[in-house]
Structure 1
């Protein structure tokens, strides 16, 4: 950090506030899965409608995430964090209070408009306060706390059983309260940022990474394989885990709601601790593509184990947990090695755009397949087309990862240390 930067204690306090804000944001994102069955039983929603509640989160970000990066560069991380946290809070409230599907969908759309740009702003804040050291650790720690929000959302049927017993709405009101807490954390961070800026009497280093279309011409083949893996892997993980897995566990494997939510939650709980550990291991080994390929291959193995065998769900959950911990720990450092530091922001921006398009599409396709096949507790075989779809997509992602490993070569895997 430069001479005018705040103390290390202040930087870690900012990290804590950002992490708290991320916790609430992640909780709201994953709040649909635990109430999916109740929305069908009590409100008559189809699986396609349930899938749309999460797909509509991603749809605006196919374009708006590029705008979000420009806003962060133009107005600063602190302001944009507050603005987007407020939008997320309003979106969560509209989702919980709406009397019909259209209102809930509008709420999720509003939440999605704020949430991804919120994510960019929080990472930019950490990059600003940890210039010169520990930025990767700070980001990893904040994201791990965010994942605890996802774990908490999955565990909410157990922790807030009384609320779930009252129907679909009380759990979503709890999610709204979490969004309010996230907004409060963002306000505290912005207040602290203003005080630090006033005391320093000088701006801290900015981390702007504008999106430039012509930079795409300079990306090599290895980057495009990485982008394909990013789209396919995240589409399967998030569409299944965040939207349909709890219903699938209930209807196809006979778990009750609390047990299904707990089973699903362990994927994120494992990632909270394992992701930093895997990142440390890859840094020590100096190799990224082989670890990435291994993590990607585990996902189709887990889907096949879950759908085609009578093996315990703990086996497939463990495999998904390892994959979910390993792939993100490797993907972003590898991206920084496959493109130059000057184009790193463009590369990540494009990956996030494509990722959101893939997640939205996967949610819609999976919901349509379930409705078409009549998937339900009375017809668990109706989930087979959805699982086949997820299986084929995860296989395609694994092929992209293996091709990346085989074609990138040691030179691309072992460039200079990742850009910070």
Structure 2
């Protein structure tokens, strides 16, 4: 399709845009569920199969190591091959990875399964992000990103809730992972339906495919602006803090705070639950008022004290919570407030951060830009679990020594401080003459 022909076609209708959003988001739901399904079985693997914290950390990190390797070319593959094919291929890889991890408790096999998940899941997220930028740019982009993240995080929350709604499966470590494999199959189905939908609309609507795709030349491909790299820096430390914390959260709440599995799972789920509700609202708000870099700085500041609070603050009275389909539980007030606040931060920063890249980077380089951003993120996410696992082992963290978890929490706090520094640098850059207009509601400076 030529540039002239593309611009002569109408943009997708609202119904077409939202159908694409739903299908891509369901594919990501399956992806997120599989990623987080491992956390609730950590203690079972330790008790039933003799896994150590160091081994668990290596399994978590294998995902990110694979993501780093594949994302170097993932953006190029997506830009050249097309999002509809890419998103289906990567969803199938996630399904295969889920089945491999559920098949045996052999450490090497689980390591390979998690590695395979990294090869599929992160490029799938990049492809989905590029889809939204293509269908929604100039049309409630931040709101669409918020909806997408909400549905995806419902997958994370559902993995935590499975400790309640699928509690009979937790008699062993394996059955919950087979459940995750079934959820991954639903994600593959959604990805195939998206492929069909985009194929039917080709030549009938303008999806912004006007420019040629860049060649894979690292010097030119990733020579982005300073604002882009500040966003990347924030992305790295933000996810390298939140994701590893979530990975160990259920085990941490059981061992350090004495909660049972169902209560720990519900408490951990509050982080994605808060994000599910609030992320679209933040996205809609930011579309209207702008101030993107300022909001990222505010979110980074709010995260700074949370890991110290969860470690040292008095637990306070137990508060009853109820979540549909998951049940009810009594949780300490301090832990409840910290998880809700972290959920708010987990809503605000991603709802602003990811769509901001679409205003800074040319459309035909979005796949490359999002791949580089996710690649850098995964380097951090690969290293932090190893460090936290080493802290837990070195300081003999466990139910008999809850204080042994404190060094890991201070490490998270230091990362949060680094994120605040990156967000401040971004705010300063976007307040100067070389700004890209992130502070304005339209995403560009007024004429």
TM-score normalised by structure 1 residue count: 0.90
Q: CA deviation at 1:16?
A: 2.0
Does residue 248 of the first structure (1) align with residue 252 of the second (2)?
Answer: yes
* Partner in structure 1 of residue 31 of structure 2: 25
Query: Equivalents in 1 of 2:278, 2:357: separation in Å?
Result: 20
Q: CA deviation at 1:235?
A: 0.2
Q: Return closer, same or farther for 1:132/1:315 CA change in 2, 3 Å cut-off.
A: closer
Does residue 330 of the first structure (1) align with residue 336 of the second (2)?
Answer: no
Q: Return closer, same or farther for 1:348/1:126 CA change in 2, 3 Å cut-off.
A: closer
> How many residues are aligned here?
415
* Partner in structure 1 of residue 209 of structure 2: 206
10-19 vs 97-106, which deviates more? 10-19
Q: CA deviation at 1:102?
A: 0.7
Q: Return closer, same or farther for 1:209/1:38 CA change in 2, 3 Å cut-off.
A: farther
Q: Is the 8 A contact 1:278 1:326 kept in 2?
A: yes
2:343 to 312, 321, 335: 321
Q: Return closer, same or farther for 1:95/1:214 CA change in 2, 3 Å cut-off.
A: same
* Partner in structure 2 of residue 224 of structure 1: 229
- The C-alpha deviation readout for 1:289-337, integer Å capped at 9, x for no partner, is 2221111112221111111221411121122112111111222344455
2:180 to 150, 175, 179: 175
Query: Equivalents in 2 of 1:184, 1:132: separation in Å?
Result: 29
Q: Is the 8 A contact 2:243 2:381 kept in 1?
A: yes
Q: Return closer, same or farther for 1:124/1:340 CA change in 2, 3 Å cut-off.
A: closer
* Partner in structure 1 of residue 372 of structure 2: 350
1:295 to 287, 295, 299: 299
Q: Is the 8 A contact 1:131 1:205 kept in 2?
A: no
Does residue 310 of the first structure (1) align with residue 332 of the second (2)?
Answer: no
Query: Equivalents in 1 of 2:354, 2:26: separation in Å?
Result: 23
Does residue 372 of the first structure (1) align with residue 385 of the second (2)?
Answer: no
TM-score normalised by structure 2 residue count: 0.85
Q: Return closer, same or farther for 1:414/1:83 CA change in 2, 3 Å cut-off.
A: closer
Query: Equivalents in 2 of 1:325, 1:367: separation in Å?
Result: 27
Q: Return closer, same or farther for 1:22/1:44 CA change in 2, 3 Å cut-off.
A: same
Q: CA deviation at 1:401?
A: 2.1
Q: Is the 8 A contact 2:149 2:279 kept in 1?
A: no
1:51 to 57, 63, 67: 57
Q: CA deviation at 1:212?
A: 4.9
219-228 vs 312-321, which deviates more? 219-228
- The C-alpha deviation readout for 1:29-82, integer Å capped at 9, x for no partner, is 111111111111111111121122221111122131132222222222121122
Q: Return closer, same or farther for 1:398/1:259 CA change in 2, 3 Å cut-off.
A: same
Q: CA deviation at 1:220?
A: 4.7
2:279 to 272, 275, 290: 275
Q: CA deviation at 1:270?
A: 1.0
Query: Equivalents in 2 of 1:74, 1:340: separation in Å?
Result: 15
- The C-alpha deviation readout for 1:152-188, integer Å capped at 9, x for no partner, is 1111101111111x21111111101111111111122
Q: Is the 8 A contact 1:215 1:346 kept in 2?
A: no
Does residue 414 of the first structure (1) align with residue 420 of the second (2)?
Answer: no
- The C-alpha deviation readout for 1:83-110, integer Å capped at 9, x for no partner, is 1111110100000012401111111111
Unaligned runs of at least 5 residues, structure 2: 1-6, 316-333
Q: Return closer, same or farther for 1:399/1:75 CA change in 2, 3 Å cut-off.
A: closer
Unaligned runs of at least 5 residues, structure 1: none
Q: Return closer, same or farther for 1:370/1:209 CA change in 2, 3 Å cut-off.
A: farther
Q: Return closer, same or farther for 1:348/1:162 CA change in 2, 3 Å cut-off.
A: same
- The C-alpha deviation readout for 1:374-402, integer Å capped at 9, x for no partner, is 21122212212211211212122223323
Q: Is the 8 A contact 1:2 1:204 kept in 2?
A: no
1:86 to 92, 97, 103: 92
Q: Return closer, same or farther for 1:342/1:75 CA change in 2, 3 Å cut-off.
A: closer
Q: Return closer, same or farther for 1:25/1:219 CA change in 2, 3 Å cut-off.
A: closer
Query: Equivalents in 2 of 1:190, 1:163: separation in Å?
Result: 34
* Partner in structure 2 of residue 402 of structure 1: 424
- The C-alpha deviation readout for 1:233-289, integer Å capped at 9, x for no partner, is 110100111x11111111111111111111111111111121122233334333122
Query: Equivalents in 1 of 2:313, 2:275: separation in Å?
Result: 25
SS where residue 306 of structure 2 aligns? helix
117-126 vs 70-79, which deviates more? 117-126
Q: CA deviation at 1:3?
A: 2.6
